[in-house]
Amino acid sequence: MIASPGVAARNRMAYRMDAVGYSAREAAAAHLDRAYVRTTTARAREPILPPTGRDIAPDPFDVIIRRYADAYSVESAVVRAIIEVESAFDPDARTHAGAIGLTQLMPMTARELGVNPLVPEQNVEGGVRYFSQLLEKFGDLELALVAYNAGPGFAERYVRGQVVLYGETRDYVSKVLSRVCGPDGAVGGCE
């Protein structure tokens, strides 16, 4: 059987990377990165808005964000950044994977948290509570963001060096941190 052009190209790239000493994991990550770039550039995307800053959030959600950020000991700037990157403050946002609402909760996660992801206040409460649990588990803002985007299992494998960050998760973490940290790196976890 003859491989499709895409599979043949991937295999050629993997053989070249193997020949110069890269591991199979690194070759796979490079392939995923290229696939991610191809996919995201091929889609018609809305322009990315510049960071809004630590103290700016749409009025309807500001009180909710502060309430649950304080309740779960998460910086409100982090919550705002997550919501901005996840849904651009659109309570009706949905992804092709099935994530729902402002904090883009997966239906199963929302059920486990006992919240209705279609109700903005419950969505924010569930998302902040879940992120707070990830912060406590991983003890690091960047790792908690990796876990929020790609799942706790992926983050654990990343910590052990079994996987590398690929396009989507790497971009997600970078976007959230750029909105949180800003030029002065004032929030904990920023360097």
- Please tell me the distance from the alpha carbon of residue 137 to that of residue 147, in angstroms, as a whole number: 10
**Annotated catalytic residue: which of 75, 84, 86, 125?**
86
Q: What is the DSSP letter of 49?
A: P
Distance of CA 157 to the CA centre of its chain: 16
Quick one: which of 54, 170, 77, 181 has its CA closest to 191? 181
Q: Which residues contact 98 (CB under 8 A, 6 or more apart)?
A: 106, 107
- Please tell me the distance from the alpha carbon of residue 45 to that of residue 136, in angstroms, as a whole number: 34
135-160 per-residue burial string, b: 16 or more CB within 10 A, e: under 16: beebebbbbbbbbbbbebebbbebee
Catalytic residue at 86? yes
- Please tell me the distance from the alpha carbon of residue 53 to that of residue 179, in angstroms, as a whole number: 6
Tokens of 55: 């103290």
Task: Give the catalytic positions in this structure.
Answer: 86
